[in-house]
């Protein structure tokens, strides 16, 4: 039961963290609207650019893990070349390629997008952690029900044993001496 309450407390803390992340995302959106007002003619394209989830960061993280595991220098060189090509491909977004940098401060919007992606990754990690905690809590609750059932059965066995013991104690053995002639 203590573990279940601990898990419940951890869930509350993680849900508060998610609420904080949502609040930070809202603040980033407000800052985004400062750089690109909703009424602008390219708002849809820039918003799509801002909300797009890039895989560049995730690929870089995977590469770092692979590089730590690999000792082969040739594999690292090939992987770095592939990453550079993928980063160049992602940097060239056709939706914003024809927009002028000065009009909408695309560099600032890209920084906001990176912050948003970091928040998104953190929220995703917390979501996975919450899922694990909920799974553990359900497992603990199932264990608790099983233990309570076994405890009830054990208590019933003890009551039956006590009744049997009291019945034996309450028996009076009477000895009758018979005299035979």
Per-residue pLDDT, 180: 85
| Widest pairwise Cα distance in the chain | 133
Q: Residue 77 and residue 70: Cα distance in Å, rounded?
A: 11
Yes or no: say if 58 and 7 are a contact pair by the CB < 8 Å rule: no
Query: Cα–Cα distance between 153 and 133 in angstroms, integer?
Result: 30
Residue 177 has pLDDT above 70, yes or no: yes
Domain-by-domain residue ranges, the chain?
A: 1-52+106-155, 55-92
Cβ-proximal residues to 59 (8 Å cutoff; 6+ apart), any chain: 83, 86
CB 137 within 8 A of CB 8: yes
Look-up of token digits 């018979």:
178
- Residue 44 is predicted with a pLDDT of 77
Q: What pLDDT does residue 69 have?
A: 53
DSSP 37: -
**Could you tell me if 28 and 116 are in contact, meaning their C-beta atoms sit under 8 angstroms apart?**
yes
pLDDT at 56: 53
Assess whether pLDDT exceeds 50 at residue 85.
no
Q: Do 104 and 40 touch, CB atoms closer than 8 A?
A: yes
34-54, pLDDT tens digit by residue?
877 777 777 777 777 777 776
Residues 17-44: what's their mean pLDDT? 82
pTM tops 0.75: no
Q: Name the average pLDDT for the chain.
A: 76
């Amino acid at each position: 039961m203590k573990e279940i309450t601990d898990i419940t407390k951890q869930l509350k803390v993680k849900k508060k963290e998610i609420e904080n992340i949502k609040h930070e995302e809202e603040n980033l959106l407000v800052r985004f609207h400062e750089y690109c007002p909703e009424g602008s003619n390219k708002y849809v394209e820039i918003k799509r650019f801002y909300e797009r989830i890039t895989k560049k960061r995730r690929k870089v993280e995977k590469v770092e893990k692979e590089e730590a595991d690999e000792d082969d220098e040739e594999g690292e060189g090939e992987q770095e070349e592939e990453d550079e090509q993928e980063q160049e491909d992602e940097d060239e977004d056709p939706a914003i390629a024809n927009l002028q940098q000065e009009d909408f401060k695309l560099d600032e919007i890209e920084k906001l997008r990176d912050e948003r992606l970091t928040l998104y990754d953190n929220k995703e990690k917390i979501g996975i952690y919450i899922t694990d905690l909920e799974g553990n809590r359900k497992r603990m609750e199932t264990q608790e029900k099983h233990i309570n059932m076994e405890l009830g059965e054990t208590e019933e066995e003890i009551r039956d044993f006590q009744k049997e013991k009291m019945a034996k104690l309450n028996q009076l053995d009477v000895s009758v001496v018979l005299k035979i002639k």
